[in-house]
Structure 1
């Protein structure tokens, strides 16, 4: 049976351990995965997956989510984050903190880096249930409200290319463009709801996505109804402050 990893172009260096690590990371490009799923999707043996995952975790190239599944680690995102001279990141702290305090939810800023969505700034609640997402954490552009916002206003060729692997549809993105925000419930973590709005530059292009996330039990299964307005306001303020 074909897998997402087997359908993706395979890049080989000729160095066995690097090629095996590349296979493992390739599986995680589609989202968090258990060791059993990595074995099935990559064709690597279970002991090899275990050894590689442990080594990549020590290097922070792989990490684990709240359910113990492997996922792309923060170091990959950190290498893609352009902090120096990034006025939006420099301006994000107060805006995210105010949004966190207003909504009592974790507030984050994301940018797109190729096929990844990367967290570049965050203001999380100090304690309580939720999904910990450090600066530099990278996730595939295949699911969730952040991916929808970062993809919805792309040029047609990039939009349709992104949809080829996405778990949402063109109709989903059309609805996001129409209302100006996206929501997701349990798409990456079964207990987490997220609401996201676009941050636009001076030319009107979407340059980032601002989100709030929290337990579904508190934000609800239709979180956009209660949280879209404050998230949109914060995204507009951040766009004005950063002047990108």
Structure 2
């Protein structure tokens, strides 16, 4: 569900936010999904409701609240913003679909994309989650991952630690039909 900050009340509150984001929850469902005692779950959910981080739907179940949307609207992602400035020109130069990915655990998430206006393309919409097991973007992200993540990712990967060392030396990765038949890709790290 996320990381443990060591601040119990905060971690439990964030867990409630994640759980109600998955599906509307009444108190019993909230307790089942979080493992929290009934009194704790109720106290925290009501507190989150005061701050409009959660709200109640027409059935009285907790759902994400309007404050989350307001906070999200002001969030900035410098890497994504920079990518949105570059990706359209890269797409124009190559004539191909281009994506920018960020690793989240054992997955990679498309945080920006630009597609050609016509013709065949391998469309990967923003927000798409793909495994880190195959594809040039997965290899590039794995090549510069921390050792613990790398061990986890290599267990199911179509690539090896040796091939990642070569990618680090060369500075880019390629793949042909690793993730999907008929799809080839080239990726480079963005730092």
The Cα offsets for residues 148-168 of structure 1, whole Å up to 9 and x where unpaired, read as 111111222321221111111
Corresponding residue for residue 79 of structure 2: 88
Aligned to 1:123: 114
**Any idea what SS the aligned residue of 1:111 has?**
strand
- 2:100 is aligned with 1:112: no
Residues 83, 89 of structure 1: 8 Å contact kept? no
Larger RCO: 1 or 2 (CA < 8 Å, sep 6+): 1
For residues 120 and 110 of structure 2, what CA distance do their matches in structure 1 show? 19
Question: Matched residue pairs, number?
Answer: 121
Secondary structure class of the residue paired with 2:109: strand
Distance in 1 (CA, whole Å) between partners of 2:74 and 2:142 is: 22
Runs of 4+ in 1 over 4 A off after TM superposition: none
Distance 2:176 2:149 in 1: 25
Relative distance call for 1:82 and 1:143 in structure 2 (3 A) is farther
Partner of 1:191: 182
The separation in 2 between residues aligned to 1:134 and 1:102, in whole angstroms, is: 20
Distance in 2, Cα, partners of 1:127 & 1:199: 27
Q: TM-score, with normalisation over the residues of structure 1?
A: 0.47
CA contact 1:145–1:194 (8 Å) conserved in 2:
yes
CA–CA separation in structure 2 for the residues paired with 1:116 and 1:188: 13
Q: Over aligned residue pairs, what C-alpha RMSD do you find?
A: 2.1
**Where does residue 50 of structure 1 map in the other structure?**
none
Which runs of structure 2 are paired with 1:117-196 in the superposition (5 Å)? 117-196=108-187
1:1-244 correspondence to structure 2 within 5 Å: 84-200=75-191
Q: TM-score with structure 2 length normalisation?
A: 0.59
Distance 1:132 1:107 in 2: 9
